[in-house]
Chain A
């Protein structure tokens, strides 16, 4: 008995020790779970860190940092430069956390020492051998932003796979495919597919993933929510309404099946309404004839769409350009801003107008014009429909002069909003086009655009113009109008009273937010395709701008060459 008792006691002690050890292990795990980026950090306005592509869930791109201000920003100097060696546009906005800048380029993720610009690790994803399809060269290598949550960086590779990469080691814990990717014409009978260029958004318990590039031959667009733990699909929301949803009848025949509406720019999230807001791409094909030739609204394309992130249901869609005859994607990030006590979706978009919608219901509130030259419509009526839209081109007939062009009054490059001053800053442009419809051809299940467009670069009123507006009134406060055409890469606002942006001519500028006075400028040598970020490290405020892109979309007047760099500046 004694021996048995002794054994039992021994076993009990071992079990107790194991349990004690287990409790310690559990506690350590809980602490580990809190390591990295927590939900409360994700919910915060950007200050020392920059954890979302657009700074916060509401898409404001406004940092609370004040160290750099109008009195000292003239002392900025280049602190470090890192080259990603990229082959195409550097469209991604970097993230910053805990001494490290993270950036995606060419299906590679880089972790960069935020003090020195040295590379800490890189994660490389090889695209499949049969990769290809319509516009593959145009899209390949482009990414818009990363997401960070817990200890993982979430990266969407071009072949529609989500990668969860450890933020310190650069090792992936999962790689999850979601959609079929486009295949090379010569290697497949079906070259159509989805493309991952959009950036994800981290919210508590989810990573939101826009699945886009529906211009690869015609497919419907989606947003998906996945588990950050294992990549499991939590929900998938259709941008184009399905049977039973309002707007289903706005697509004739089978046109909804290839209708486009890819949400190709990251959206915003409201933690109270539990809604993700996204803009959507043009209806596909560009030629409106197969989609009803302007007589059908094609709801969901060229729209703002709200998705309930608890259910994946779509409570509302607002169609910014009914029937989208002009390739006016309205994919721009919808900002969430409280105006006169009402939570409002604010979207500056290709139409040349800023649209204001009720965030809860999608009700159209107003549209404020910001583009200098608009001829496709006179404005919007009280129902939110375009007023006096011009006649559509005839298929195979003459082209029409249309302003803005398919590049829009603003394009993918993000706006910024300062909640203290109530000012919104837009990287706008003024450009027209000659636009016409041609018969849509189908090759290997790929519909081509069915449209022709020629840009009016040589007009006197083709120029880059960066605008500061009072958001509530829509009135212009100042403008930085350039002599040549182009876009700035996106805006950054700071509580220090500054706006940072890089002009198409590669001039990185720090501007007095109140007056528009350019207080500091340095030429970074190549074109921007994304907005700057800012962070605080070792008591010093840094501003980081990724540059590198094909200058001017065929407009060669800037005399710049392509090449990708990430530049860190500080005092």
Chain B
């Protein structure tokens, strides 16, 4: 019985630690996400759009195509970003963390590669390509 109690105690402690860690991580993630502004601070900024285009061509266009329509040599499964509709915060989240996608691949995570400012600048460029159905506003308020 004594051994069973000890084992149970250890299990509870481990579970508790895991729960704490999970909560802590979730808290950190939520905190990190909360630092992203609701809308893109570089929207309409010509200099930022130019820089964003340059980086988009460099790291995004091989899969999403130079027109961001998903037609590209290296990523036939790249999404058509002209109709991105999840809002700015979700855009930043997907770029930073990556995302499993449809047919064959996944969007890589760029959070440890591209600075937040660069991701914002690329977003500012993409906003200029938006066509009907796209939404780049506050993700909380996006049309559903």
> Which residues of A approach B to under 8 Å, CB–CB?
87-88, 132, 135-138, 184-186, 396, 406-407, 438-441, 443-444, 448-450, 452-455, 457, 550, 552-555, 561-562
Q: How many of chain B's residues touch chain A, expressed as a range?
A: 20 to 34
Q: Decide yes or no whether B139 CB sits under 8 A from chain A.
A: no
Q: Within the assembled complex, what's the spacing in Å between the Cα atoms of A439 and B129?
A: 21
**Cβ of B104 and Cβ of A438 under 8 Å apart?**
no
Whole-angstrom distance between the Cβ of B97 and the nearest chain A Cβ:
9
User: Chain A residues with Cβ under 8 A from B63's Cβ?
Assistant: 137-138
Contact of B104 among A137, A186, A450, A552 (CB under 8 A): A137
**Cβ of A137 and Cβ of B105 under 8 Å apart?**
yes
Question: How does the 8 Å CB contact mask read for B50-94 relative to A, with 1 for contact and 0 for none?
Answer: 000011011101110111001111111100000000000000000
Contact of A453 among B55, B73, B113 (CB under 8 A): B73
Contact of B55 among A441, A452, A550, A552 (CB under 8 A): A441
**Cβ of A450 and Cβ of B58 under 8 Å apart?**
yes
Whole-angstrom distance between the Cβ of B82 and the nearest chain A Cβ:
14
Whole-angstrom distance between the Cβ of A553 and the nearest chain B Cβ:
6
**Cβ of A452 and Cβ of B105 under 8 Å apart?**
no
Q: Within the assembled complex, what's the spacing in Å between the Cα atoms of A310 and B77?
A: 44
The residue of chain A having its C-beta at the shortest distance from the C-beta of B59 within the complex is A448
**Cβ of A186 and Cβ of B109 under 8 Å apart?**
yes
Q: Decide yes or no whether B111 CB sits under 8 A from chain A.
A: yes
Q: Decide yes or no whether B37 CB sits under 8 A from chain A.
A: no
Q: Decide yes or no whether B103 CB sits under 8 A from chain A.
A: yes
**Cβ of A550 and Cβ of B77 under 8 Å apart?**
yes
The residue of chain A having its C-beta at the shortest distance from the C-beta of B98 within the complex is A186
Looking at chain B's contact residues, the main secondary structure is loop
A-B contact list, 14 entries, CB within 8 Å: A88-B104, A132-B108, A135-B62, A184-B108, A185-B110, A186-B109, A438-B54, A441-B55, A443-B114, A448-B62, A455-B73, A550-B103, A550-B104, A554-B71
Q: Within the assembled complex, what's the spacing in Å between the Cα atoms of A325 and B61?
A: 19
Most interface-central of A452, A457, A554 (chain B CB within 10 A):
A554
- State whether A554 and B76 are in contact (beta carbons under 8 Å apart), knowing that A441-B58, A455-B71 are contacts in the complex: yes
- State whether A443 and B73 are in contact (beta carbons under 8 Å apart), knowing that A136-B108, A137-B104, A438-B58 are contacts in the complex: no
User: Chain A residues with Cβ under 8 A from B110's Cβ?
Assistant: 185
Whole-angstrom distance between the Cβ of B135 and the nearest chain A Cβ:
24
Whole-angstrom distance between the Cβ of B143 and the nearest chain A Cβ:
26
**Cβ of B67 and Cβ of A454 under 8 Å apart?**
yes
Q: Within the assembled complex, what's the spacing in Å between the Cα atoms of A553 and B74?
A: 8
User: Chain A residues with Cβ under 8 A from B66's Cβ?
Assistant: 452-454
Q: Within the assembled complex, what's the spacing in Å between the Cα atoms of A138 and B103?
A: 12
Contact of A135 among B74, B77, B104 (CB under 8 A): B74
**Cβ of B76 and Cβ of A550 under 8 Å apart?**
yes
Contact of A138 among B54, B61, B74, B112 (CB under 8 A): B74
User: Chain B residues with Cβ under 8 A from A554's Cβ?
Assistant: 65, 70-73, 76
**Cβ of A439 and Cβ of B54 under 8 Å apart?**
yes
Q: Within the assembled complex, what's the spacing in Å between the Cα atoms of A562 and B104?
A: 8
Q: Within the assembled complex, what's the spacing in Å between the Cα atoms of A455 and B71?
A: 8
**Cβ of B76 and Cβ of A553 under 8 Å apart?**
yes
**Cβ of A137 and Cβ of B75 under 8 Å apart?**
yes
**Cβ of A553 and Cβ of B57 under 8 Å apart?**
no
Contact of A441 among B59, B67, B71 (CB under 8 A): B59
**Cβ of B58 and Cβ of A439 under 8 Å apart?**
yes
Query: Which 6 pairs from chain A and chain B are nearest by CB?
Result: A137-B105, A554-B71, A550-B76, A441-B58, A452-B66, A448-B58
**Cβ of A443 and Cβ of B72 under 8 Å apart?**
no
Whole-angstrom distance between the Cβ of A564 and the nearest chain B Cβ:
11
User: Chain B residues with Cβ under 8 A from A137's Cβ?
Assistant: 63, 75, 77, 104-106, 108
Q: Within the assembled complex, what's the spacing in Å between the Cα atoms of A554 and B61?
A: 13
The residue of chain B having its C-beta at the shortest distance from the C-beta of A444 within the complex is B113
**Cβ of B71 and Cβ of A555 under 8 Å apart?**
yes
- State whether A186 and B58 are in contact (beta carbons under 8 Å apart), knowing that A550-B77, A553-B76, A554-B65 are contacts in the complex: no
Q: Within the assembled complex, what's the spacing in Å between the Cα atoms of A453 and B58?
A: 11
Beyond A137-B63, A449-B58, A554-B76, 12 extra complex contacts between A and B, CB < 8 Å: A135-B62, A137-B75, A137-B77, A137-B104, A137-B105, A185-B110, A185-B113, A407-B73, A438-B58, A448-B58, A452-B61, A453-B66
